[in-house]
Chains A and B, each alone.
Chain A
Amino acid sequence: MSGFTGLALAFPLIAMVGLFLIFPVIKLVTLAMGAPRGAGNFLSFFDLTVNLDVLRVTFVDSAIVAVVSVLLGGVVAWVISSTTHAFVRMSLVAAIFIPFWMGSVVKLYAFTVLLERLGIVNRVLLDLHLINAPLDLIYNQPAVIVGMVYQLLPYSVLPLFVVFRSIDVDLLKAAEGLGASRARAVRSIVLPLGLPGILASLTIVYVVGLGFFLTPVLLGGATSPFSASFMYDDIFSYFNFTEAAVSAVVLLVGALLVLVIASRFVGREQLRKVLG
């Protein structure tokens, strides 16, 4: 096909992207830098300690979530790709992916039922006399982190499985034949060969986590200091769109920086592979 036919075929996508992605983002930036104080909007944003706290919590909590998801997801993906027992593989796949399709809001419902003050976990612990009074398991940051890991873990298992499966098993056998233990063989062969894929998964999970809205609102409660809830309140409770736009731009720039740094380290192709 000629470049011209190609352009005609790709035109709807280009138009959609221009109208519903590039233009809104430009609009967002101009609004954030518009009234009342122009670029000074950002200065006043960073002047407030509460905003800095919110940013810190958002970026740190998402990082914890990404590391935990990739660590646990990596172990699971490795077992799924290396086990010789079909039963183990099938039950792991089922345990990870059936809840994945439960619906994002329903997952949070399940966690609320489990973690509430008089929820299932507290009742079981009380009945077993392990605790004397109900624990505060929900409406705090650990609850948000647990809830986010629950939703993002499958996102790390799938690409890591693809990464591990592409590693030649004979290399492992060779290492073991030369006297290496399983752990040593995995450490010296699977980790270095899989590193670009592992880092790429880490990046994607991190960036997706930054944009989470429902989990902080529902599991973090009214006091959850996540950017997402602040933006929502700015728009719908305080009708202050500029403030929300400033937060959104800061979050976007942060995410973009992470992606740019990551693609420097592992390459853009690798990041794309993780998405497919």
Chain B
Amino acid sequence: MSVGVQTKNGLFRLTGGVACIIVALFMAIPAVTVAVLSFAGGTNLVFPPTSWGFTQYHTAFTNGVWIPAIYESLKIGIPVSVLAVAVGVPAALALQRSKLALSGVIRLFGVAPLVIPAVAYAVAMYGFLAEIGIIGSYWGLVFADCMLVIPFVVIVIESSLARIPRDLELVAMTLGASRRRAIFGITFRLLLPAIAASFLLCFISNFDEAVFVNFLSGPGVTTLPKAIFNSLRTGLDPSITAVASILMILSTAVVAGAWALRSRNTTR
């Protein structure tokens, strides 16, 4: 290699390295700030904190704002994810394994909520739910939120199904299994980790949903993101830092779990 090429390569590596360090710092600093502030002692947001302790964690668990909000989020998130899986898994099965007419169009609409500008969709949903008279109701929000997470189920399950060889079903049937037995005994069982993964993805994504809940729910339904949003509009409550730190750790664990489940039947 000539000296010119070597200097060029050095320069190229340097630029890439510097860019990566800047991006990593940019991403990490806000998160680290929140984590550090969560161990601050006082009720004022000073950085670096003048005293340390678990005050924020104590307040977060006892001030009666965050615990009910988390409960509300679970009350929405679990039915939303169950419904999304119940609707999305059979649909993905049909899209991958049957001679369904117009499957391209169905798939397109199934994943469309991911790319529709969220706020425009929220306005449309508001008009629709107001029209049928369930605006601000619990089930209205559950069905609306469900639409936002169905794409995850369709995508995850379809890509998993594509990796489960169809021949396995045929082998089972050659060995005397009925069609139903072949589908449930083989394909469905191999699909279980992916179903669990898509459920987790739906749940974690819905747990963070803040646009629909602001447009579609009345004052009665205050999920965790909405509670944080409300408190941000009125002022900076330092106990948010404790909630955020716990969320960061839990969500990372859940997502890592979902990834592990998802890759389990792909490496096989």
Interface of A toward B, CB cutoff 8 Å = 1-3, 5-10, 12-14, 16-17, 20-25, 27-28, 31, 72, 75-76, 78-79, 88, 91-92, 95-99, 101-114, 120, 123, 150, 153, 179-184, 186, 204, 207-208, 210-214, 218, 227-228, 231-232, 235, 241, 244-245, 247-249, 251-252, 255, 259, 268, 272, 275-276
Interface string of B95-127 (1 = CB under 8 A from A): 101111101001011111111111111111111
Closest to B117 in A: A211
B252 close to chain A: CB less than 8 A: yes
Residues of B with C-beta under 8 A to A108: 232
> How long is the Cα–Cα vector from A8 to B100 in the complex, in angstroms?
10
Judging by beta carbons under 8 Å apart, are B33 and A20 in contact?
A: no
With both beta carbons as reference points, the residue of chain A lying nearest to B118 in the complex is identified as: A211
Known contacts: A24-B124, A99-B248. The answer to whether A204 contacts B115 by CB under 8 A is yes
Q: Is the CB of B82 closer than 8 A to any CB of chain A?
A: no
CB within 8 Å for A255 and B255 given contacts A106-B247, A113-B45: no
Q: Which of B30, B109, B208 contacts A111 (CB 8 A)?
A: B30
- A109–B115 Cα distance when bound, in Å, is 25
Q: With A20-B147, A103-B228 as given contacts, are A6 and B94 in contact (CB-CB < 8 Å)? A: yes
Q: Is B236 part of the binding interface, using a Cβ–Cβ cutoff of 8 Å?
A: yes
Asked if B27 contacts A153 (CB within 8 A), the reply is: yes
A224 CB to closest chain B CB, in angstroms? 13
A108, closest chain B residue (CB): B232
Partner of B31, one of A20, A31, A99: A99
The chain A residue with its CB closest to the CB of B99 is A3
* Total count of chain B residues near the partner, CB < 8 A: 97
Interface majority SS on A: helix, strand, loop or mixed? helix
Q: Which residues of B contact A (CB under 8 A)?
A: 2, 4-5, 8-9, 11-13, 16-17, 19-20, 23-31, 33-34, 37, 45, 47, 86-88, 90-91, 93-95, 97-101, 103, 106, 108-128, 130-131, 143-144, 146-147, 150-151, 154-156, 159, 204, 207-208, 210-211, 214-215, 224-225, 228-229, 232-233, 236, 240-241, 243-244, 247-248, 251-252, 255
List 19 A-B pairs, Cβ < 8 Å: A10-B91, A10-B100, A14-B106, A20-B128, A20-B143, A24-B121, A31-B127, A95-B28, A102-B31, A103-B228, A111-B30, A114-B33, A120-B47, A180-B5, A181-B9, A211-B116, A248-B124, A251-B119, A255-B117
Our pick among B86, B144, B248 for the contact of A101 (Cβ within 8 Å) is B248
Residue pair A91, B211 in contact (C-beta under 8 Å)? no
Q: Which residue of B lies closest to A3 (CB)?
A: B99
Query: Do B109 and A207 touch (CB < 8 A)?
Result: no
Closest approach, in angstroms, between the C-beta of B71 and any C-beta of chain A? 16
- Specify which of B117, B156, B204 lies most central, judged by the most chain A CB atoms within 10 Å of its CB: B117
Q: Which listed residue (A75, A107, A207, A245) contacts B123, Cβ 8 A?
A: A245
Instruction: Give A137 Cβ to nearest chain B Cβ, in Å.
Output: 13
Q: Give the residue among B159, B207, B224, B228 with the most A Cβ atoms within 10 A.
A: B228
Complex alpha-carbon distance, A14 and B28, angstroms: 42
Bound Cα distance A186, B103 (Å): 38
B248 contact set on A, CB distance < 8 A: 98-99, 101-103
Q: Are A21 and B119 in contact (CB under 8 A)?
A: no
A9 in contact with B31 (CB, 8 Å): no
Determine the distance from Cα of A13 to Cα of B27 in the docked complex, in whole angstroms: 37
**A113 — which chain B residues lie within 8 A by C-beta?**
33-34, 37, 45, 47, 236
CB distance from B245 to the nearest CB of A (A): 9
User: If A75-B16, A110-B30 touch, does A228 touch B87 (CB 8 Å cutoff)?
Assistant: no
CB pair B30–A76 under 8 Å, yes or no, is no
Cβ B87 vs Cβ A16 within 8 A: yes
Q: For residue B34, which residues in chain A have a CB less than 8 angstroms away from its CB? A: 102, 106, 109-110, 113
A207–B120 alpha-carbon span in the complex (Å): 11
State whether A79 touches B16 (Cβ < 8 A): yes
Q: Write the nearest CB–CB distance from A268 to chain B, whole angstroms.
A: 8
Q: Which residues of B contact A17 (CB under 8 A)?
A: 106, 109-110, 112, 147
